[in-house]
Structure 1
């Protein structure tokens, strides 16, 4: 069995679905949204899909959910092409920005419709989440505020318990307490019912505690893909007098720099050895870790992209 087939192999409802994408191209007229993208998403884990506006995140998720057909390349979800494949698509749930639930029925009746289409749907979880987000079952999606639409999208996405659940900026419009209630609910239900979850968000600082794997897209391609902890360990900050910082980072892969007076801070991409750390401390420099948000910002800057390649 090939590596691609193994990664996208039959995970099933009990462990999540794997995804393998090779050479994926999606064009909108003359615009290339995805440009020969290669990607593997491991089954049964929470993956963060990160990227600046226009990087191709929503297009990729739409292809995986069979909302959009690829122009070229190979797309495998659970080892099969998802386009017009009912066996696969009934196991995939994509909730996009602000809930993305189009219905003229009440929230209660909308959930009944979702349950009929989703063999893994859990009405008890849906009811609990409706209470958490203070959603009136009698209300209609079209009459909800943006924040409440997003909250209802979270209800549908989590209660569906789809083996491949994808949440694309679903938090937009939600206030901070609602967003954190969403994160807590996702982690709690994932712990009891493991599945493949992909979360796309600009709020990296908030969601990084959820993530086991991270994929960063840039201009329709994968800039970086790794375990979240491994990615964090690749970065380090060096802070101190500008001259000493410059001397220490010379020849290393610097992906970001900040200055304040005579003090400079440089973000390095790559692990430092114990000897490196000793040399830094001897030069009076301070070493620090890098969280995912800072690393993302630096990596997706022009200089950072060139350094990471």
Structure 2
């Protein structure tokens, strides 16, 4: 589904959560939606899912607005970090209701994931731990098979092993049936290798939209003796440096080939470090 965001603005009193933001998502991909707390990511996702209205501007999905559009919202599944389901419902009822709402619902996948995460179908949502509630959200998001599936910090309370399993299943399902997956997270290093395209929002504005591989290759970590690295970075744009026992590593924008020629060790820079640099040190 083609997603067009046109001059999207959302105002809450004196606070502008989104400020005339515009971009397009043209094809099924796994998109990383990144930014600091309060950047406007959740507001964007709620407008995309048809849950709230914008103050001005619009989101069009295949040319239609999502708000009060049941045909369209059946193709969008937003799983937030909490409060996705009514507390008095049992897990079995949550799955049943979801199967009625999402036309492409995969009940066999849902039950398989219930077993994977050791959930009791008879348990009520209000009796679930935070991790179990997150697991239920993940199950609904994956089993919905919604053409636009949005995960907003969906793993709160899950341990590392459970999160890893989620990432593996998400990739398996995406490879079988590509869809637009928008993933917002602060655990960027855990999931960044999944991203095919990255969007960074800062203070309600789009700071960056880039192919993930291009972004990864836009900077490099150069390592060597402190003297060699210091000499190399003198005229370069440096993100950060680390020193230990006479050795030094510097994150540098570009210049990977020159670093190799200078006898330095060269590796990629984590997307998380680039995001922090863009939103904090360099500014959007």
Q: TM tier, shorter chain?
A: over 0.9
Could you say which residue in structure 2 is the equivalent of 1:297?
Answer: 276
After superposition, the C-alpha distances for 1:47-86 in whole angstroms (9 at most, x for unaligned) are 1111111111111111100111111223112222212222
What corresponds to 1:184 in structure 2? 168
**Deviation >6 Å, runs of 4+:** none
Counterpart of 1:280 in structure 2 is 262
- Unaligned regions of 5+ residues in structure 2, if any? none
The equivalent of 1:245 in structure 2 is: 229
TM-score normalized with structure 2 length: 0.92
| Residue 94 of structure 1 pairs with residue 78 of structure 2 | yes
Could you tell me how far apart the structure 1 residues matched to 2:239 and 2:23 are?
23
Which residue number corresponds to residue 135 of structure 2? 151
Q: 2:206 aligns to what SS in structure 1?
A: strand
1:223, distance to aligned residue in structure 2 (A): 1.6
Q: Whole-Å Cα distance in 1 between the matches of residues 114 and 199 of structure 2? A: 31
1:109 has 2:100 as partner: no
- State the Cα RMSD in Å: 1.9
Aligned length: 284
SS at match of 2:108: helix
2:98 maps to 1:119: no
User: What does residue range 1-309 of structure 1 map to in structure 2 within 5 Å?
Assistant: 17-98=1-82, 100-242=84-226, 244-260=228-244, 263-270=247-254, 272=255, 274=257, 276-281=258-263, 285-302=264-281, 304-305=282-283
Residues 45 and 278 (structure 1), Cα distance of their counterparts in 2 relative to 1, 3 Å cut: closer
Report if aligned partners of 1:78, 1:88 keep a CA contact under 8 Å in 2.
Answer: no
Runs (5+) with no aligned partner, structure 1: 1-16
SS in 2 for 1:98: coil
